[in-house]
Structure 1
């Protein structure tokens, strides 16, 4: 099956059939299942050998190294925690091991500056590059509801769009522009979401202290000019005592720091962004590198001496 698809691809069919997937964590594992279900031959590598059973249960193969996974693959897909892991996983030997005319699709929440050098090294081996950082949860990955923020040449996206459509619907694939724009878009979304969470918590704590019923304030804010997806969709989890323990506070801080550094490099104002980073730095110092997307809110609750519970 793999060689037949590869021959079709060289004749003009862009759909890669042999995929090397690096990363079998919370997001990589359901993505592996989506690729296999779409009929692709998938070989997975992860630093944790205990992930092999879950990968094979999905119908994928397992490789003991990234180089072995990449050998002869038409597409290299990386789903690793962050920039440092991406650099560690992708020496030149990995790009050299791919099939001629292969593509590297990075679905990591990577740093634009870090990815720039990786993209250059991939290009030196004739490998096309697309960045497609994800928005969504592991459940969204499993059920093809992810949002992909794609950066890279439009013609490369056109060729490999069928591959991306194995993991999400066409309307959720957004081409943001050239290299770097996909990463920056994902980081900006994170910045605004975490900033909204902190600002909303401060407002709710003030309203609660002033004697306003939290449930009434929630409904009013949701229907007002100040309404947001965070208030309408995510705030009920906080009210139930759920700090969304699905992502590490250290990773959150690092990503927020990357986007503020990009603002500095590009010469745009970043006072608000700096504040969001400082709050999450304090939360990280206080709670440690544990999972919890709303732990900065927990820090604010502690400072106020009360919990946001209707």
Structure 2
């Protein structure tokens, strides 16, 4: 794509007086609250989702609805995709969607995408003169609603600067982290997930062993939380597990797919991945046992089942 002077390009926010025309593809648990925040910030948002039943909540947020991604994208300055994974991202943005955007438009992909899948989509977008920024999210639907998501941004620093005003309608400036060039945002999100799910399974194994050895779980939890082994998982998330809450906010099949992507990336890049393989294998067994249902801690449920013990104080 030819270089263009910054003062001749559309900003993501459309300048100080003209809000962006945004096409948002994906009106699920994350996309719908993000849509509401963008509308509240004064942007004109048109949403498309394959599920027709999502039209009512989208319209109630003040956004428009389009029956297809191409129609939603027509004349838009900014395209935002908030879909579950790589397959959905590829299906959401055929060439017709990129071709329908306004000149000098920007595509912001907030999907937990595969770096390899995104690489091919980025080439197609750039062939249509569309700039690309990846900004996968860390957080829950509640975080999306209240503007406290973390965004792991990969791509050009110049494009990020253009899009900061729009991203700051979604979250606070300190939660927008530029990780580097294309692919680094996706990889960062996947590494965070790998470590979190690894901590969850390792902690569960330790607690099951401690309980079998006769240690009170409440005392062990408090001791671990304030020790060198302490982590956000132990301090923040473990109490939910102790009440029987397996954090049913995300599908086990999606978790498995993301762990598979990052272990494949490690294999492709030639870095050690024995522990990553183990975390993936445990989640694959959990998926076989429970099926594609919601539950971020269902691998822990599998370990409890194998131990014949529930982690309840």
TM-score by length of 1: 0.96
Q: Which residue of 1 aligns with 2:270?
A: 267
In 2: Cα distance, 1:163 partner to 1:68 partner? 22
Q: Which residue of 2 aligns with 1:234?
A: 237
- What stretches of structure 1 move > 4 A for 4+ residues in a row? 9-14
SS at match of 1:174: strand
RMSD, aligned CA: 1.2
SS at match of 2:124: helix
Check if 1:282 corresponds to 2:285.
yes
Contact 2:12 2:106 in 1 (8 A): no
Contact 2:69 2:92 in 1 (8 A): yes
Deviations 1:120-173 (A, max 9, x none): 000001101000000000000000000000000001001111111010000000
Question: How far off its partner does 1:15 sit?
Answer: 1.4
Query: Would you say how many aligned residue pairs link Structure 1 and Structure 2?
Result: 303
Q: Which residue of 2 aligns with 1:113?
A: 116
Q: Judging changes above 3 Å, is the alpha-carbon distance between structure 1 residues 32 and 199 closer, same or farther for their aligned structure 2 residues?
A: same
Of 12, 15, 20, which residue of structure 1 is paired with 2:13? 15
SS at match of 1:99: coil
Check if 1:42 corresponds to 2:40.
no
Check if 1:153 corresponds to 2:151.
no
Check if 1:131 corresponds to 2:145.
no
Point out where structure 1 has 5 or more consecutive residues left out of the alignment.
1-8
Contact 2:12 2:78 in 1 (8 A): no
Question: How far off its partner does 1:10 sit?
Answer: 4.7
Write out aligned runs for 1:59-208 (5 A): 59-208=62-211
In 2: Cα distance, 1:285 partner to 1:51 partner? 30
Q: Which residue of 1 aligns with 2:17?
A: none
SS at match of 1:64: coil
SS at match of 2:112: coil
Deviations 1:49-107 (A, max 9, x none): 01101000000000000000000000000000100001111110100000000000000
Q: Which residue of 1 aligns with 2:3?
A: none
Q: Judging changes above 3 Å, is the alpha-carbon distance between structure 1 residues 14 and 49 closer, same or farther for their aligned structure 2 residues?
A: closer
TM-score by length of 2: 0.95
Point out where structure 2 has 5 or more consecutive residues left out of the alignment.
1-6, 15-19
